[in-house]
Structure 1
Amino acid sequence: MLRQPAFGHRLKKLRTAQGLSQTALAGEGMSTGYLSRLESGARQPTDRAVGYLAGRLGLDVADFEEPVTGSLAHALTLASSTGSADAIGALRAALAAEGHESAVLRWQALWLLARAARLQGDHTAERADLGRLVALGEEVGSAELRVRGLTRLARCLRSLGEITPALDAAVAAHRLALGEDLGVEDRAAALLALVSVQAEAGQVPEARVHADELAALVEGRTDALWAEAMWTAAAVRVRQGDQTGAQAFLDAALERFSSREDLVLWLRLRLAAGRLHLQTLPPDPARAEACAAQAEAALAFVGTPALRQDLTALKADLAFATGRYDDARALLGDLAGDEPRMTYRDRVRLEILRQQLLILGGDASGVEGLRTLAQQAQADANIDLAAEIWRTLADALAQSRPAPAGPA
């Protein structure tokens, strides 16, 4: 038996697929108002109405039954089990067509779609999915779903360089997780987002307090949540100039987190470690090179455009740090031909490297380029990144300044 609201939804989909208006479909045998109520689910269809509409559409009555293979639940099951590009595409199409499914089911679909976009480095698409997901969490009224949506939104906005709204979302997620006394996973995830955004916003002391709270919360674990907590704690210590402490946290994650748990995270940890080895004083290119080699081997199994770009960027930094400036320029040229799949911060770092290479080549426009990047980062409230660029500019100017002449 055909029931509402599924019938109305299917009817509207079939009508619009043929490019018909409600008036055109209703014809002389049905009022437009009655058809509108059928499509909205306000009226239960009679056998006579169903037969009439089937004839007008040139279909069989059975065509009004939503095919199982086209349902959102079916598409969600396939996307969850395979994660393939085709399955994700089918899920997005099913979500767009399904307006009558439960809010929780649509939330699950959006969660998977946002995750798929994130893995591909498409943070703009991820933000659109997460915006809808946060609204659905509010509609459902589940504290857990609201916290998870806000947490992922905060991290996505941070990746896009939108620090002020990212901080708002992270603070809201953290307060809600504490206020509702949610489980360790939700509280830790909210703290992860909060710490990373606070650090980007230049609120490093606050980030350190929350990073220590996070480390204590996940103590004794060795799963993905713990590994991300160690990575985040290391990042905060880097910003405080505590290279030794940062290395200790990151080394713990590298040694104890298994690639069998999450190969993508395992790979990203090595990319992060490689960058840290280049930021230490003095830099350690040999260890950075080893991290890059491990990451490159893992790319054969989980390679995505975003991860490949991250590895190429690390190689460019490594080439610059070891004085292989032509190699650094060539690697930057390779990246310039691709659609960018990197975070805002990583894209800016590539621009910093380009400007440094210009200065080394005697092109004074690199100085103005660095100054513009720093000013833009400040305007975006990315205080930590702005400070990093100003330091780079000062170092570049000091290195390019001619040495004072000796006594005659």
Structure 2
Amino acid sequence: MDARQAELLAGADAHELGRRLRSIRLAKGMTQGEVVGDTMSVAYLSRLETGARKPTVKALTSLAGRLDVSIDSLLAVEPGRDPDEVRLALDYAELALESGEPAEAAQHLDAALSRVDDVPGSGMRERARLLHARSLEAGGREDDAIIELETLLEDDTVSGVSRIKAGIALSRIHRETGDLGRAISCGEDVLAQLRAAGLAASDEAVQLTVTVAAAYFERGDTAHAVRLCAKAITQAETLDSPRARASAYWNASVMQANRGDITAAVPLAERALALLGEGHDARNLARLRAEVGRLQLELEPPAVDDARNNLQQAVSEMEWSSATPMDKAWTLLGLARAAFLTDDHDECRRLLSDVHGTSDGQSPLAEAEALALEGRISAARADTDEAARLYQAAVLKLSSIGADNSAAQLWFDLAALLEGVGLVEAAADAYRRAAASTGLRTRTTAPALTRESAS
């Protein structure tokens, strides 16, 4: 380290330097123990990363060597015009998102966005804006994420691949927030642009197709959704892309499951799981593993042990991926069902408490299912009054969703459970809501009937 660098170190902010050390270590995929080796203690490095201590000249020189970076990069010398520095900031942001740390990702993105105009023509501005939208979504700001993605799609200079990625994210967010019409229209608009540009045969185009299919399915157009998935599978098999094939098989599995054909859904999901395991998409691998586990619980008879193994592994993977609270809540709910099926009611209650704490209002459907399952535990223990109270709480929670196709099965289940505790009127209302959630409506004016007079 030269005198200039020593002076910079003396004036450096300990917290900012610590964040930079940690980000570089994570980007390298190294543990604290691997970084320090026998040069210093892990506890010392931990204090440096939290900003509790500032490294000495000797320690920073050693860390730069262990991390294989320059001392200047650790000190953030002359930021701004170096494309590699902006790219590195975006890499750190993406890594933070995948690690479930949106606040840290936002810090790196702020740094990258302030410099990205200095490196034109590199495609980094598009990547930065896509990551910014992901960061907004991960932070619970879906409306702001939608605006960012719409602005990106309105920009004629945005490349084809970035346009597809924005279309996938925008369609998915619209679907998850209940705006199915926009989820379909924005996805189909981008697909039409891809066909016109000759980009329909790509990994991302297959993913966009199945994203649009999911919106059609949620809207109740099951047949068209299944046809889209079948086409996507055919297209994906022509590509050398495990991710595209996994996406197509996964969505086909979900649709078969929702049609009630669990036997057909499980092998499709297992095929998708094997394909996704070949890649590096930690969040989706964990989500798919959880989906396989939940499907295995629906088999006749339920494959409880296999399901529990998949769900427990998914929980572990979600701890260090960019999985959302909604993803985690549904996975915990799957584990609670496995515990219920093996009569481990105490463990089931513990897991259901975790579901409520994890969801915290973000997934009312998962919370309603958790309340219904709690009611079933009370009913199994002959506590009818408590079971009735919990079923009614589930009804109240589910009512906040409205006539959503995804809620239809739970309304139907609740109707039977309410009947079981003598709440007949509430059960009849639940049956009506189940029908409404599938798209059935009462016809206020019956068609006129005519009689032919006997000749």
Number of the residue aligned with 1:295? 314
Q: Report the 3-state secondary structure (helix = DSSP H, G, I; strand = E; otherwise coil) of the residue aligned with 2:79.
A: helix
Question: Which among 307, 321, 327 is matched to residue 347 of structure 2?
Answer: 327
Number of the residue aligned with 1:311? 331
The alignment of Structure 1 onto Structure 2 pairs a total of residues equal to 328
RMSD: 3.5
Structure-2 change in CA distance of 1:75 and 1:316 (3 Å):
farther
Number of the residue aligned with 1:387? 408
Q: Does 1:189 align with 2:195?
A: no
Structure-1 separation of matches of 2:416 and 2:301: 15
Tell me if the contact between 2:294 and 2:307 (Cα under 8 Å) persists in the aligned partners.
yes
Tell me if the contact between 1:370 and 1:389 (Cα under 8 Å) persists in the aligned partners.
no
Structure-2 change in CA distance of 1:336 and 1:389 (3 Å):
closer
Question: Which among 372, 377, 383 is matched to residue 401 of structure 2?
Answer: 377
Tell me if the contact between 2:333 and 2:370 (Cα under 8 Å) persists in the aligned partners.
no
Structure-2 separation of matches of 1:184 and 1:260: 17
Question: Which among 91, 95, 114 is matched to residue 80 of structure 1?
Answer: 91
What is the TM-score of this pair, normalised by structure 2? 0.62
Structure-2 separation of matches of 1:152 and 1:349: 22
Q: Report the 3-state secondary structure (helix = DSSP H, G, I; strand = E; otherwise coil) of the residue aligned with 1:124.
A: coil
Tell me if the contact between 1:223 and 1:261 (Cα under 8 Å) persists in the aligned partners.
no
Q: Report the 3-state secondary structure (helix = DSSP H, G, I; strand = E; otherwise coil) of the residue aligned with 1:241.
A: coil
Q: How big is each residue's C-alpha offset from its partner over 1:329-376, in whole Å with a ceiling of 9 and x where there is no partner?
A: 22222343346496x4xx412322213423635333444444445544
Structure-1 separation of matches of 2:82 and 2:338: 46
Structure-2 separation of matches of 1:257 and 1:136: 28
Q: Does 1:69 align with 2:79?
A: yes
Moved more, 323-332 or 364-373: 364-373
Q: How big is each residue's C-alpha offset from its partner over 1:247-275, in whole Å with a ceiling of 9 and x where there is no partner?
A: 12112223344355434333222111011
Tell me if the contact between 1:154 and 1:170 (Cα under 8 Å) persists in the aligned partners.
yes
Number of the residue aligned with 1:234? 253
Number of the residue aligned with 2:141? 125
Q: How big is each residue's C-alpha offset from its partner over 1:121-172, in whole Å with a ceiling of 9 and x where there is no partner?
A: x263355234213313322344624333122111122233443432332333
Please give the residue correspondences for 1:90-239 in structure 2 after superposition, counting only pairs within 5 Å.
Answer: 90-94=107-111, 97=114, 105-116=124-135, 122=138, 124-125=140-141, 127-142=143-158, 144=160, 145-182=162-199, 183-219=201-237, 221=240, 223-239=242-258
Structure-2 separation of matches of 1:269 and 1:209: 21
Structure-1 separation of matches of 2:144 and 2:224: 29
How far apart are 1:299 and its partner, in Å? 5.0
What is the TM-score of this pair, normalised by structure 1? 0.68
How far apart are 1:242 and its partner, in Å? 1.7
Structure-2 change in CA distance of 1:341 and 1:195 (3 Å):
farther
Please give the residue correspondences for 1:30-49 in structure 2 after superposition, counting only pairs within 5 Å.
Answer: none
Q: Does 1:355 align with 2:379?
A: no
Structure-2 change in CA distance of 1:357 and 1:309 (3 Å):
closer
Tell me if the contact between 1:305 and 1:341 (Cα under 8 Å) persists in the aligned partners.
no
Structure-2 change in CA distance of 1:171 and 1:378 (3 Å):
farther
Tell me if the contact between 1:150 and 1:170 (Cα under 8 Å) persists in the aligned partners.
yes
Moved more, 179-188 or 246-255: 179-188
Structure-2 change in CA distance of 1:75 and 1:377 (3 Å):
same
* Residue segments in structure 2 that go unaligned for 5+ positions in a row: 1-76, 424-455
Q: Report the 3-state secondary structure (helix = DSSP H, G, I; strand = E; otherwise coil) of the residue aligned with 1:357.
A: helix
Counterpart residue type for residue 205 of structure 2: R
Greater relative contact order (Cα 8 A, min sep 6): structure 1 or 2?
A: 1
Tell me if the contact between 1:198 and 1:204 (Cα under 8 Å) persists in the aligned partners.
yes
Structure-2 separation of matches of 1:399 and 1:286: 29
Tell me if the contact between 2:371 and 2:391 (Cα under 8 Å) persists in the aligned partners.
no
Structure-2 separation of matches of 1:352 and 1:297: 22
Number of the residue aligned with 1:48? none
Fraction of identical pairs, as percent: 19
Number of the residue aligned with 2:302? 283
Structure-2 separation of matches of 1:285 and 1:88: 38
Tell me if the contact between 2:233 and 2:249 (Cα under 8 Å) persists in the aligned partners.
yes
How far apart are 1:318 and its partner, in Å? 2.0
Q: Report the 3-state secondary structure (helix = DSSP H, G, I; strand = E; otherwise coil) of the residue aligned with 1:83.
A: helix
* Residue segments in structure 1 that go unaligned for 5+ positions in a row: 1-66, 403-408
Q: How big is each residue's C-alpha offset from its partner over 1:169-219, in whole Å with a ceiling of 9 and x where there is no partner?
A: 233333333343323223212212111112222221111111111111111
